[in-house]
Amino acid sequence: MGAKRQPRTDDSDEALILQSVERFLEREVRPVAHQLEAADEYPAGIVEKLKKLGLFGATIAQEYGGLGLSAVTYARICELTSAVWMSVAGLFNSHLIMAAAVQRFGSEEQKRKYLPRFASGELRGGVALTEPDCGTDLQAVRTHARRDGGHYIVNGAKTWITNGAEGGILAVLVKTDLHANPPHRGMSLLLVEKGPGFKVARKLPKMGYRGIDTAELVFEDCKVPAANLIGAEDGRGLQQVLNGLELGRINVAARGAGLARACLDEALRYAQTRKTFGKPIAEHQAIQIKLADMATRVEAARLLVDSAARAYDAGRRCDMEAGMAKLFATEAALENSLEAMRIHGAYGYSKEFNIERYYRDAPLLAIGEGTNELQRIIIARELVKRHPA
């Protein structure tokens, strides 16, 4: 599916980029993450520094001002970032799914108009798919766009939209034909910039994944230029979204691997300093078993993420690989966060330590970019398709 993508990085490029990201995370993110997360404060200062690093253009082609990174390198950046503060990875993930849709399916005029501004971070946003009565079943969306001369008139509501409040543009999944059968033939993807008729109803409070904005949006007779339709014709929106979600699921899987690693690192460190019955708890078999399982999950998650990212870079259809990576790595994050809390005991339950943040962040990963139940269905269907009896 699709031609092989041409990432710009070789091993030395990748090493330099990852070193720069690591330095940035240690200097600019780790010192403030605990405070910003606790206050649920939007990390505006970090956003400005992400712009300078070029991460809003991580996977955008160089000809449009981006870094042109491979999915492999991008996944490693997401892992590193999530091991420090997962919310930061969300600032550019949804944004880059939107950019990927424009880069792969948009007109040359759209690419020239938007991609350089996306890459610089001047214009940031994401994708608006989920609705109050529609999550996993995207064909059930109700937001409607009616063609009126040179414009579409958009009406409807979206919810749980990352970058919906702080961003300036969204790729919005809409119905352009309410009577299409099957429904996906009547679905389109529109680039909607903020303006009249585009309202942020509220920011949604969350258990975890704090700091980054997640919003409920309302469109009331929102006028969008017809030139902002992604693709040459109506009715291709669902396929465009599903294609972009491959990269999104690789990102979420990489976040899971990073979070699982953060849990392991802190549990391993604590287990060697905390003593009970006259010795470090790392010398107790019960703790050793937990640490061994945690480490194995991290390594397996990384390998699955790398496999999915390499398939994506090769231009192969990788919904099964991305689904496997997303399923395993996010479950690894969930399990490791719980085990890290148990190893830390009461300290793991305290807001003074990072462990309780990891424990609150991890469940989102099993839900976002398609629930893990859906991933199992996708994996099974693709297995049967690839291996017919």
Residues carrying an active site annotation: 369
> Which amino acid, residue 224?
V
Find out whether the peptide bond into 205 is cis, omega within 30 degrees of 0: no
Which residue reads 């501004």 in tokens?
117
Question: How many beta carbons lie within 10 A of that of residue 255, not counting itself?
Answer: 33
208 to each of 13, 127, 318, how far by Cα in Å?
34, 20, 29
Q: Which two tokens stand for residue 233?
A: 């014709």
Q: Scanning the structure block, which residue is given the tokens 């979420």?
A: 252
State the burial class of residue 2 (Cβ atoms within 10 Å of its Cβ: 0-12, 13-18, 19+). exposed
Residue 205 neighbours by CB distance under 10 Å: 8
Instruction: Residue 367: name the closest of 335, 318, 321, 327 by CA.
Output: 327
DSSP code for 170: E
| Integer Cα distance of 57 and 43 in angstroms | 18
H or E element that contains 148: strand 144-148
Find the angle CA(106)-CA(200)-CA(203) to the nearest 5 degrees.
110
Q: State the Cα–Cα distance between residues 245 and 97, nearest whole angstrom.
A: 7
Residue partners of 80: CB distance under 8 A and separation at least 6:
18, 21, 22, 25, 258
**Which residue from 136, 128, 129, 97 is spatially nearest to 374, judged by alpha carbons?**
136
Two structure tokens written together for 148: 């009126």
Length of the chain: 389
d(CA 29, CA 63) in angstroms, rounded, equals 30
Judging by beta carbons within 10 Å of its beta carbon (0-12, 13-18, 19+), is residue 299 exposed, middle or buried? middle
What are the beta bridge partners of residue 215?
161, 203
